[in-house]
Amino acid sequence: MGESTKNKVLLIGWDAADWKVIMPLIKQGKMPTLAKFISEGTYGKIQTLDPPLSPMLWTSMATGYRADKHGILGFIEPLADNSGVRPVTSTSRKVRAIWNILHNQGKKSNVVGWWPSNPAEPINGVMVSNLYQLANKPISEKWEMPDGTVHPKSMEDVLKEFRVHPQELTGNHLVPFISNLKKIDTTKDKRVSSVAKTLANAASIHAASTYLQRETDWDFMAIYHDAIDHFCHSAMKFHPPQRPGIPDDLYDNYKGVVEAGYMFHDMMLDRTLSMVDDNTTVVIVSDHGFHSDHLRPRYLIKEPAAPAQEHSPFGIFCVRGPGIKKAEVIHGASVLDVTPTLLTLFDLPVGKNMEGKPLVQIFENPIEPKYIDDWEKVEGDFGMHDKSFVDDPWAEQEAMQQLIELGYIEAPNENTANRIETSKNESQYYLSRNLIDAKKFPKAIEVLEPLVDNNPREIRYGQRLAFCYLSTNKLKKCRLLIDQLKEIQKQIEAEEKELSEDEIKKKKQSFIREAELPNYLKYIEGLLFMKVNKWVKALKLLNQVSEKVPNNIDVHLNIGKACLHRQLWDDAQSAFIMALSIDDTNSVAHHGLGISLLRRGVFEAALDEFFLALETNYAYPSAHYHIGETLVRLNKYKEAEQAFKAAVSLAPGMTKGHKWLADLYQNELSDPQKAKVHLDFLSNNIKGEIIIVSGLPRSGTSMMMQILSAGGLDILTDKKRTPDDNNPRGYFEYEPVKKLMIDKSWLPQAKGKVVKVIAQLIPYLPSNFNYKIVFMRRPMDEVLKSQQVMLGKEKDVKSKAFPSGLNNAFQKQLNRVDEWIESQANIDVININYKDIISSPENELESLVSFLDKPLEIDKLKSAIDKKLYRNKS
């Protein structure tokens, strides 16, 4: 019956499968089936969602929606009668899955083991729920299947015979996984029974799926295996290489479990693929990966669903079939993209409101996906349970609570009530993480604020809320909450000091204290300092976090970002290299590393990094821009043109890209017509030009402001700082300039005017203005002398007792500013030597007038120069 030649789609789910484990096994010839499969199709990494909890992720994969829309919020939910909690069920899903849509379109589906799929839905085809393979009784007792395990019910008697009970397995079945099986006392070491249960469950799913694949007619089939995830959770700690703290005997006993688990899946895949024809498209996917190398956590933070901390952010995706590219690598796939891609394979429209996208890059020929506004609004039969079954479990919980308060039913006992409350809190916490992952921060705040109010000592709730405040620029709320959480942490630590060692172990608070609380709080506080441009404080905290939590990629990325802002190119390079050691495909890390190399003049290596960033994210305007800038440095103007064109096509408002193109066409490529296009864009979009007078304090900036004022230029000053003995002719300052790092709202007032900005603030100038910078240069010893006199420290000047390191510090700052200015397409600069403009002003002033391109009279400019005020000379 399964021999139809019509186009079919087979979806195979391997929970937690990871390329980091698979690729070495393929090279060793231990997964030949998958090796052949990817050579005949397209493959790559697939991005998971946060939190990486399997019921939420597999539901996202089957629907194209995140958890806030599909309604599966974790592993458990309260029972409708308030008597306890239950595993999540299919009736809690709020949206239609791929098999429901196919049912509506007259197609037959077989779904085996999907999580969660119990109770099985009445689809056109067969559904075997995720309870099918579970053996909860010894083999001596009758092994019944719960109601709703299989649809249609007529298939129950056939399918229950394919189940494998763990106690049916013999030593011969287990030795490939545990080579030292005979040496293990299985009455004491429960790991053997865990491996047996996982293996039996996988065999049950495989037997049922191959039977349905062979004996039924189907258009779509979905098979879900959780065995890799279970093998990894039980034995990844023993996976080679042996880590410190792992006992030799346990390592020897269980080091082969994970590898054998993958090889077993390859064998099952071989049988499954042997029963599909050339018209069947096969997709193999995992919901997340599993840390298998140096990124394996040393401990798990104590919280519900703690094992998810072992999951890595990238799973596997591979597809083979008619019209699919061969031996091709795909980038940028997400678990949300699976259902839109499946719909496209069936030539069915994708819901415009689905949060994933069809992976059209897998097809040999260009394809235009079809779209529909919303599959949820389509009327008809979708093979779902009757509406009476599909009540929100949290709504049921609230209804039951009201009945309790009214006295109609008895309240549950305290332990049950705690379990229900914990279940509800954790589900809301997972929902908030899902919203944060989607950058829906206001909605996450709505979820988290009552959660934090009701559970103030659950610090991880508060941490997420602080991050949301930070992400929505509610900086005062963020600061206040961080301080409150610090105080709560101090209270917890003080309470722990009163506990005995046994009590501490029982509570496992030490895990929380060491791994999570101070470090994540420091991380958020570091991000807060970055937000307000306090880069030194930010780096101090972030570096402390990286020492304690070395495997968090976001920490290293933000260290790199902070170092780039401070122009610490070597430190930035180190941070981005660390990030790439965690995820070698991270486009942000490659881009950041490229920038650090570019600023150090290592152009060819910088180019390599920018191109690597584009491999995983071609729609990255800044990477294209920096490729263009690097190519200009290499005098490869034609190639630079193409890079800048790509940048502005992806980000049409990127003024610096247009400025570079205009400059290239004018000066290097001799194409005035093309130059005019970009010059016209700039004239229409650049908000105007500002003249900046800059330099170190006491380098002659006030004198230059006086010169330009004498020439008749419009000066932006509030005159709040009045003349004094150090500057008898005035400072010409504007108070808001001091806050340029965090407030740029005053800049439109400077349009067409002259404003003084000290050198250290220059890199904070926004890119939507053109700037002409008059940069004052003065010998460093004179600058330091003048500053000390201004501070009333004449004695230090006489003894030359300047603060240690000031000379080098200021020089490094100037170097960074110079490098930054050089990289900006919207800035022109002229350097004016303070000594020269005083000793021979005509030459310097002529250059200045030419640079400013203003009708200024040299004599008027010269009148502002008072040689008597040249004090504190070298």
- DSSP-assigned states of every residue in 175-222: TTT-TTGGGS-TTT-THHHHHHHHHHHHHHHHHHHHHHHHHS--SEEE
Distance of alpha carbon 698 from alpha carbon 614, whole angstroms: 45
* Residue 761 to residue 533: CA distance in whole angstroms: 11
Q: Is 309 exposed, middle or buried (0-12, 13-18, 19+ CB in 10 A)?
A: middle
pLDDT at 400 over 50: no
CB atoms within 10 A of CB 377: 9
pLDDT 10s digits, 479-524: 999 999 999 888 877 877 777 767 666 555 444 433 445 688 899 9
pLDDT value for 137? 83
Q: Which of 617, 567, 556, 619 is nearest to 595 (CA)?
A: 567
Least confident of 294-303, 329-338, 669-678: 294-303
Position 269 scores a pLDDT of 98
Structure tokens at 795: 């004695």
For residues 754, 757, 758 and 764, what is the CA-based torsion angle, rounded to 10 degrees?
-140
Residue 73 pLDDT class (50, 70, 90 cuts): very high
Enter the tokens of residue 28.
């060793």
Instruction: Round to whole Å and give the CA distance between 489 and 483.
Output: 10
- Confidence grade of residue 802 (pLDDT, cut at 50, 70, 90): low
The terminus-to-terminus CA distance of the chain in angstroms comes to 97
Query: Is the predicted pLDDT of residue 289 greater than 60, yes or no?
Result: yes
pLDDT band (50, 70, 90) for residue 528: very high
Please enumerate in sequence order all residues whose Cβ is within 8 A of that of 187, keeping only pairs 6 or more positions apart, or say none.
none
Average pLDDT over residues 570-574: 95
Above 90 in pLDDT, residue 9?
Answer: yes
Question: At which residue do the structure tokens 């199709």 appear?
Answer: 41
Q: Are 130 and 149 in contact (CB under 8 A)?
A: no
Looking at per-residue pLDDT, the higher value among 840 and 484 belongs to 484
pLDDT top residue among 755 and 687: 755
Residue 308 vs residue 607, higher pLDDT:
607
Query: Between 534 and 403, whose confidence is greater?
Result: 534
pLDDT tens digits for range 26-52: 999 999 999 999 999 999 999 999 999
What does pLDDT average to over the chain? 88
Residue 148's CB is within 10 A of a number of other CB atoms, namely 20
Evaluate whether 484 touches 476 at the Cβ level (below 8 Å): no
Of 515 and 359, the one with more pLDDT: 359
Pairwise CA distance, residues 483 & 521, whole Å: 9
In CATH terms, the superfamily for domain 689-869 is P-loop containing nucleotide triphosphate hydrolases (3.40.50.300)
Please compute the mean of the pLDDT values over residues 620-644 and round it to a whole number. 95
Q: What is the CATH number of domain 8-393?
A: 3.40.720.10
Q: pLDDT category, 407, cuts 50, 70, 90?
A: very low
The 10 Å Cβ neighbour count of residue 512 is 19
Q: Is pLDDT above 60 for 412?
A: no
Amino acid present at 560: G
For residues 181 and 195, is the Cβ–Cβ distance under 8 A? no
Q: Which residue has the higher pLDDT, 309 or 57?
A: 57
Share of the chain above pLDDT 90, in %: 60
* Residue position matching structure tokens 């295996």: 225
d(CA 235, CA 240) in angstroms, rounded, equals 10
pTM to 2 decimal places: 0.77
Indicate whether 783 pLDDT > 60. Answer: yes
Give the per-residue pLDDT at 584: 86
Poorest-confidence range of 168-172, 588-592, 809-813? 809-813
Q: Is the pLDDT of residue 408 over 70?
A: no
Give the residue-averaged pLDDT of 198-221: 97
DSSP state of 410: P
Note whether 63 and 339 are within 8 A (CB): yes
Using the predicted structure, report yes or no on whether residue 405 has a pLDDT greater than 90. no
CA dihedral 208→213→216→217, nearest 10 degrees, is 150
Residues 6+ apart with CB under 8 A from 418: none
- What residue spans define the domains of the chain? 8-393, 689-869
Query: pLDDT digits over 249-283, tens only?
Result: 999 999 999 999 999 999 999 999 999 999 999 99
Contact assessment for residue 451 and residue 428, using Cβ atoms and an 8 Å cutoff? yes
pLDDT band at 798 (very low <50, low <70, confident <90, very high): low
Instruction: Say how far apart CA 178 and CA 250 lie, in whole Å.
Output: 11
d(CA 488, CA 572): 34
- What burial class does residue 179 get, using C-beta atoms within 10 Å of its C-beta: 0-12 exposed, 13-18 middle, 19+ buried? middle
